[in-house]
Chains A and B, each alone.
Chain A
Amino acid sequence: MHRVESVEGLNTLSKQMRARRRSGDAVVVTLCGGTGCRASRCQDVIEAVEKELSGNGLAKKVITRVTGGHGFCEQGPIMLIGPWNLFYRRVKSDDVKEIISETVQKGRVIERLLYTDPATGDTVQNVDEVPFYTAQTPTLLSQNRRIDPRSIDDYLAIGGYTALSKVLSGMSPEEVIVEVEASGLRGRGGGGFPTAKKWAACRAASGEEKYVICNADEGDPGAFMDRCILEGNPHGVLEGMLIGAYAIGAEQGYIYVRNEYPLAVNNTREAIRQAREFGFLGENVLGSGLRFDVEIARGGGAFVCGESTALMASLEGKIGEPRPKDIHTVEQGLWNKPSNLNNVETWANIPRIICKGAQWFSDMGTENSKGTKILALTGKVRNTGLVEIAFGTSIRTVVEKIGGGSSEQGKTIKAVQTGGPSGGCLPESMFDLPIDFDILWEKGSMIGSGGLVVMDENTCMVDVARYFLNFLQDESCGKCVPCRVGVDRMLEILTDITQGRGRPEQIALLEELGETIAHTALCGLGKTAPNPVLSTLNYFRDEYEAHIHDKKCPAGVCKPLIKYSIDPDLCTGCAVCLASCPSGAISGEKGHAHSVDMRVCDRCGICLTSCHQDAVVVQ
């Protein structure tokens, strides 16, 4: 492919690509090739589709497209069939033959591959009617569905790089910053800092050499929106970085991506190669005189390297540890040069803001949080996956409408944990709160990277706090005392409480220590580390008190605090539990009520799950 030398050249090329893509009535088979679907063997399906199509002589008539993740990873491998927008899920390679002969050739729907709404029991044909998608505002994720991430032609055909041409053909760097400012875009990595403010500060910083960095070191367990964007739409991120570099005056960019994301690394690498070939990266971009290139830096998977200064230290080849931020990174960052670091999602939002205008973006969302945010919905809900919602959507909408409510019949949802390990827990009574940077922060939680873990009555909040603290303690870099020793001490206390050794004064100690860590730790990760404990102490103090005063775990999770017993009225003496108990703690004769000896019991819970009469009681 030849190099695009000018803005006009790009516009003609885009037109060509758009014309070429116009499929009319042709059948388009879209297969999700994201990591989630790969885990459920989508590659076998892709191979089978290609084989079947070429075997039937349809390879030229049917367009197949392997895309990045669609968000509904739990239902993978996902297949969309156009022009009918059919939504097939959990497709296996054995189903492919039938799909090609029935659906692709004759247009018949295969019922068993359709999605069934667990709430109503109805099957859904059209992808746009799947309840998981209807309550969303998919503006970023919807692009994933439309393009092959390894094809720049696809990206050009959906209007890719037009934002770049718009910027280069008549906007000054200041105008770009003003536009981004008007959109109200705030950093999606967790801090929620106004992006335009950061750009302006970096532009104003003195120094010839400046850097823009894309933070794709997504360390939060359960969050994978950055991976999904980078895998599914790497050109979108590159275009955002190009615009940012133009606005700031940088000539070099870095994408710091975890090595645990091989597909994201490969797709990004391919995208950079293509962009260089087309002349979007390198010297004299589109004949405008802009010089910008991007390199990939692969991270070793340390959670702390998602923190800006630690990331820059790691990029420099040093130990990935944060440094005091009394001098901001926009003034002295990478190699002590002004550096602008933004999250993948932030960068991916930029081209759309430039293309569609700041007004379009700021129309979505609340007063101080504009646009959309991708959340990773997991936990005890029916539908899990990536969810893109406009800011201001209530937590209840996400949990009940998109998530489909509690995954187990009859269980009530009691809390959500937002913002990854350093976020906080919010109780059910606060589910009507809109999802908004400032409101969640005020209530002791945060949006953070966008994780949303739903918990039901069988979740012990003390144990949850202990779990997250254990993760944070494990991932602490160990540089400063409050985080290294303080979090470790908090974990020690929580372990005591969950094992029945808690003392009443420890609650006050947890609060005091938590406050100290929150204010004195060196980096943002340390400062937010006590959040899981402080927010659960705030909203679920009764659970802590039950653990400490009554030595009981209300949710029946903390093993040293629970007791099993068998209800003699319900027990039929079937001896199933007796046979399945690995510790031999259950005794009794067939036909007579059994009993559990707690001195021998291991509290494994096998009897609880094996009993058909629900006679085993946990206290």
Chain B
Amino acid sequence: MSQYVTLTIDGSTVRTPKGSSVLDAALAYGICIPHLCHMPTNTDVGSCRICIVEHVLNGRSKITTSCSLLAKESMVINANSERVLKMRRNIAELLVTQAPNSRAIQDIAVRCGVTETRYPFRSGTCIQCGRCVRVCSETYGAHAIGFVGRGRDRRVDFPFGVRPDYCKKCWACVDLCPMKVTPCDGPMKPGEEYLCGKCESTMNQPQFTVGSCIKCDMGEGFDCVRHAR
């Protein structure tokens, strides 16, 4: 049996090892699918919903996250159709108004084409991508932090709020946190948040280059897998 599967992403034929996700396949070919909670070394949970794509099957298309979608033979994926771009923009807008005080989130908003925010800003400090929790439990096996609470009250915390002995203070959680990169102009004060949009100038017309990876500087901001390579 073949070790590879061939699928179509945005009209181009992509060959990828069996068992890899659609997101991995796309990124390897330089097709940009913005992503946030995905990390190459850990399992995907599909919580940020930024990497959504359209999966066309039997004439019907279904929106799903590409990180959790296993690449299969002769799959047809639209990663940057009008519909996907609009929804991705809406989600990025939700994220950036929730936690504007991060260059990573601001970058993603720009990349997804957010030009105005229609909701009042909230000065959130965590967008619950779960990168920290997964690196702690999966990569280091420490299980020192986890999610506590539900819905609006959900947060990352130590067990019972106390730092346990088995937390080795490796700070991997902090390293991977998208909130650790502050906006270029420094931290925003509560009540004075704004949509930064500075990186737009460093990227040639993002609205026309949605599909292809342009190796943007923003990679550093949101730890793009391609940038990490």
Cα distance A477–B52 in the bound complex, in angstroms: 20
Q: Is B128 located at the chain interface by the 8 A CB criterion?
A: yes
Partner of A481, one of B70, B94, B119, B153: B94
Report the minimal beta-carbon distance from B82 to chain A, rounded to whole angstroms: 13
Q: Return the CB mask of A337-362 against B: 1 if under 8 Å, else 0.
A: 00000000000000000000000000
Interface residues on B, range: 35 or more
Cα distance A422–B30 in the bound complex, in angstroms: 39
Report the minimal beta-carbon distance from A197 to chain B, rounded to whole angstroms: 15
Q: Which of B67-93 contact A (CB under 8 A)?
A: 68-70, 86-87, 90-91
Cα distance A509–B153 in the bound complex, in angstroms: 25
Report the minimal beta-carbon distance from B93 to chain A, rounded to whole angstroms: 9
Q: Which of A574-619 contact B (CB under 8 A)?
A: none
Cα distance A484–B52 in the bound complex, in angstroms: 17
Q: Which of A490-534 contact B (CB under 8 A)?
A: 492, 505, 509, 512-513, 515-516, 519-522
Known: A326-B64, A522-B49. A478 touches B90 (CB 8 A): no
B49 with A482: CB separation less than 8 A: yes
Cα distance A477–B152 in the bound complex, in angstroms: 8
Q: Is B4 located at the chain interface by the 8 A CB criterion?
A: no
Known: A478-B154, A485-B95, A489-B119. A324 touches B46 (CB 8 A): yes
Cα distance A515–B83 in the bound complex, in angstroms: 11
Cα distance A423–B139 in the bound complex, in angstroms: 41
Q: Is A327 located at the chain interface by the 8 A CB criterion?
A: yes
Cα distance A527–B119 in the bound complex, in angstroms: 21
Q: Is B169 located at the chain interface by the 8 A CB criterion?
A: no
B154 with A482: CB separation less than 8 A: no
A479 with B90: CB separation less than 8 A: no
Q: Is B147 located at the chain interface by the 8 A CB criterion?
A: yes
Q: Is A488 located at the chain interface by the 8 A CB criterion?
A: yes
Cα distance A321–B146 in the bound complex, in angstroms: 13
Q: Is A58 located at the chain interface by the 8 A CB criterion?
A: no
Give the residues in chain B near A324, CB-CB below 8 Å. 44-46, 64-65, 68-69
Q: Return the CB mask of B172-184 against A: 1 if under 8 Å, else 0.
A: 0000000000000
Give the residues in chain A near B49, CB-CB below 8 Å. 480-482, 520-522
Cα distance A512–B83 in the bound complex, in angstroms: 11
Cα distance A319–B63 in the bound complex, in angstroms: 25
Q: Which of B96-125 contact A (CB under 8 A)?
A: 97-98, 118-120
Cα distance A491–B164 in the bound complex, in angstroms: 37
A482 with B70: CB separation less than 8 A: no
Give the residues in chain B near A478, CB-CB below 8 Å. 128, 147, 149-154
* A320 to B, closest residue via Cβ: B150
Q: Is A486 located at the chain interface by the 8 A CB criterion?
A: yes
Q: Is B127 located at the chain interface by the 8 A CB criterion?
A: yes
Q: Is A302 located at the chain interface by the 8 A CB criterion?
A: yes
Cα distance A90–B175 in the bound complex, in angstroms: 66
Give the residues in chain A near B47, CB-CB below 8 Å. 479-481, 522
Report the minimal beta-carbon distance from B122 to chain A, rounded to whole angstroms: 9
* B155 to A, closest residue via Cβ: A478
B68 with A326: CB separation less than 8 A: yes
Give the residues in chain B near A513, CB-CB below 8 Å. 90
Q: Which of B50, B91, B98 has the most CB of A within 10 A?
A: B91
Q: Is A308 located at the chain interface by the 8 A CB criterion?
A: no
B63 with A519: CB separation less than 8 A: yes
Cα distance A474–B152 in the bound complex, in angstroms: 7
Cα distance A476–B48 in the bound complex, in angstroms: 15
Cα distance A480–B147 in the bound complex, in angstroms: 13
B69 with A484: CB separation less than 8 A: no
Partner of A486, one of B45, B52, B94, B127: B94
Report the minimal beta-carbon distance from A487 to chain B, rounded to whole angstroms: 9
* A519 to B, closest residue via Cβ: B63
B91 with A482: CB separation less than 8 A: yes
Cα distance A489–B146 in the bound complex, in angstroms: 25
A484 with B46: CB separation less than 8 A: no
Report the minimal beta-carbon distance from B34 to chain A, rounded to whole angstroms: 13
B87 with A477: CB separation less than 8 A: no
Give the residues in chain B near A477, CB-CB below 8 Å. 150-151, 154
A512 with B119: CB separation less than 8 A: no
B152 with A473: CB separation less than 8 A: yes
Known: A478-B150, A482-B91, A512-B90. A327 touches B70 (CB 8 A): yes
Q: Which of B86, B127, B146, B151 has the most CB of A within 10 A?
A: B151
Q: Is A323 located at the chain interface by the 8 A CB criterion?
A: yes
**15 pairs of residues in contact across A and B, judged by CB atoms under 8 Å:** A319-B147, A321-B147, A324-B46, A324-B65, A477-B151, A478-B147, A478-B154, A481-B48, A481-B91, A482-B49, A484-B151, A509-B118, A516-B86, A520-B63, A520-B87
Q: List 9 A-B pairs, minimum CB-CB distance, nearest first.
A: A478-B154, A324-B68, A516-B90, A324-B46, A476-B151, A519-B63, A485-B94, A478-B151, A516-B87
